[in-house]
Structure 1
Amino acid sequence: MEKVVLGNTNIEVSRLCFGSLTMTPFQANLPIKEGADLIKYAFQKGINFLDTAEIYDNYGYIREALKEIKREDYVITSKSYAYTEKMAKDSLNLALKEIGTDYIDIFLLHEQESIHTIKGHYEAIEYFLKAKEAGKIRSFGISTHRVSGALAVKEFKEIEIIHPIVNKQGIGIHDGNIYDMLDVLKDLHEIGKGIYGMKPLGGGHLIKNVEESFNFVKNIPYIDSIAIGMQSTDEIDANIHLLEHGYIPKDITDRLKRKNRKLIVGDYCVGCGNCEKRCQQNGITVIDSKAIPNEKCILCGYCATVCPEFCIKVI
């Protein structure tokens, strides 16, 4: 698989990044060995880049996979909500210990909203920069669901990598549309920031138009790599074929169509009711301050487009 260097870093990654959230207790809840086997299978197919986060609670999968993958051949990103030095230190040490490694390639501040949240987290940033000097991380950056978060990266030379939402419909972007986001990302690419996009299928809501949606992101010249959730060998093969050929073979498509997909709502739902108002099928209802899908849900994904917390997904 084609490899690229993330921006001005010296970190070389595959054009596909293994999004590991989908295998976790939050979604598929795969056994450790099964999840580790998928990571190893993807690596054998050329995917040397994996995205995780402290909140995903899946470091055990990676530790198991690294028993058969040379650490220096693999690139791991983790993320944290830390905003103090102690929280940052604890987050990094947890990742190092539970993955069983001496360093994390890329450490990100999770879901940064703007220049104000970045400044509010600067005590943690200072710790991560010291950790970089000590060789415990190779590069530092942020993830964001907001155009304002991407804009803020311009103001911080110490932020080398950004992990933004990028999909054809802009699902999950809280403060603009996909073209607003792309305008900023193009500027960031030109000043040497590494960019790997998330949610090319909008958290599962664009699966019915998977080839068109994936190719839209793949063909953006300033997106270095694409993180996408994978929870089976068929999904790994499908995504590799999409990247390399632009389509999914019919036999794989047929098998994937047989998967029983469902709508899930994250525990961090605030019960705002936007989804209930948006749904024309009466397929989701707010009960006791949380959105609950029901048998009328047709997995159209329209509810996710109005969710301010991006907590509604199709798996």
Structure 2
Amino acid sequence: MQYNRLGNTPIVVSKLCFGSLTIGPLQRNLPLDEGAAVIRKAVELGVNFIDTADLYGTYPYIREVLKSHRDLVIASKSYAYDSRTARETLERALRGIGRDYIDIFLLHEQEGPLTLKGHREALEYFIAKKQQGVIRAVGISTHYVAAVKAAAVMEEIDVIHPILNYRGVGIVDGTLEDMTAAIELAYKNGKGIYAMKPLGGGHLISEFKRALRYVLDFPYVHSIAIGMQRLEEVYANVSFFNSGEIPYNLEMVLKSYKRKLFVQDWCAGCGRCVARCPQGALTIGEEGKAQVNHSRCVLCGYCGSVCPELAIKVI
């Protein structure tokens, strides 16, 4: 496994980052021991970097793995906008993973300069906690070119977690070329870059080797977060990151998986998922229930977090 220093930070991370969203309640909702076993296997194979978020509900899995692997690098994300919400989400993360510090804490889903300005109080709180040693690095996650460009020139930002895949799936405000140029700028300015959604939230699984080669060959990222929810996915991803190849049997298993966003019959049509979806993949249909445009859905599962009826899932 390749390891890289994350920009100008002292943090060293594996090229492959374990994206934990997929094992939690927004997606597969694995039992605690099963989900922890998937992460643990990745760690045993060389992965030292785990990505999560306040939204994901995956702290219990990570806490379980940290009992036996204490020195893992953990990144989390928060929608905090002021000092109170920043404190609450940071404390929730620390309690959740069972540590008195966290390696990386990010402002989640930033859109650009105005969003960063609106979350400035939270950012200042995280910076203060970095100075106290509670956080080792601060930054942002984003699907927006504008946010990458803004953060690239902010001295106080250490790490950027941008969307990147060879088709540009999920980039909200520009082209793939726009995003790669912004990431290059940030990288050259010393920002730690770990990319998200190299498989386009599942849309590029049928071309997963091409998709993974693209991000592995892209020179301006230090690590790549990939959601994994099965041991076979861990073995396949580690193999590809190490050798550029995936054993045939694993490839066949991966190709057999089919995932989609599914709306249960009891959907009440409240529209919260529609408002929450940044890709515009959800609408309320004639029957008064949510319906999915699968060509736009990136399978992030965020819509499920706002559904009061728990009627929408990634399966």
TM-score, normalization by structure 2: 0.88
User: Match of 2:152?
Assistant: 154
Aligned residues: 298
Structure 1 position 105, deviation (Å): 0.1
| Match status 1:210 vs 2:208 | yes
1:276–1:285 CA contact under 8 A, matched in 2 = no
SS of corresponding position for 2:296: helix
Paired residues for 1:83-94 under 5 Å: 83-94=81-92
User: Match of 1:56?
Assistant: 56
Paired residues for 1:186-225 under 5 Å: 186-225=184-223
Structure 1 position 262, deviation (Å): 2.9
Structure 1 position 228, deviation (Å): 0.4
Aligned residue type for 1:15: K
The 1-side partners of 2:54 and 2:139 are apart by 15
Judged with a 3 Å threshold, the aligned counterparts in structure 2 of structure 1 residues 267 and 227 are, in CA distance, closer, same or farther, namely: farther
Aligned residue type for 1:170: G
1:276–1:286 CA contact under 8 A, matched in 2 = no
The 1-side partners of 2:134 and 2:47 are apart by 23
User: Match of 1:99?
Assistant: 97
1:172–1:310 CA contact under 8 A, matched in 2 = no
Runs of 4+ with deviation above 6 angstroms? 309-314
User: Match of 1:114?
Assistant: 112
User: Match of 1:270?
Assistant: 275
2:106–2:141 CA contact under 8 A, matched in 1 = yes
SS of corresponding position for 1:257: helix
Structure 1 position 65, deviation (Å): 1.0
Judged with a 3 Å threshold, the aligned counterparts in structure 2 of structure 1 residues 199 and 222 are, in CA distance, closer, same or farther, namely: same
Unpaired runs of at least 5, structure 1? 278-283, 294-300
2:163–2:197 CA contact under 8 A, matched in 1 = yes
Q: Deviations over 1:98-154 (max 9, x none)?
A: 211011100000000001110111111111011111111100000011000111113
SS of corresponding position for 1:196: strand
| RMSD of equivalent CA atoms | 2.6
Q: Share of identical aligned residues, percent?
A: 49
2:107–2:140 CA contact under 8 A, matched in 1 = yes
Structure 1 position 168, deviation (Å): 0.8
Judged with a 3 Å threshold, the aligned counterparts in structure 2 of structure 1 residues 48 and 276 are, in CA distance, closer, same or farther, namely: closer
SS of corresponding position for 2:273: coil
The 2-side partners of 1:81 and 1:184 are apart by 23
The 1-side partners of 2:314 and 2:212 are apart by 16
SS of corresponding position for 2:233: helix
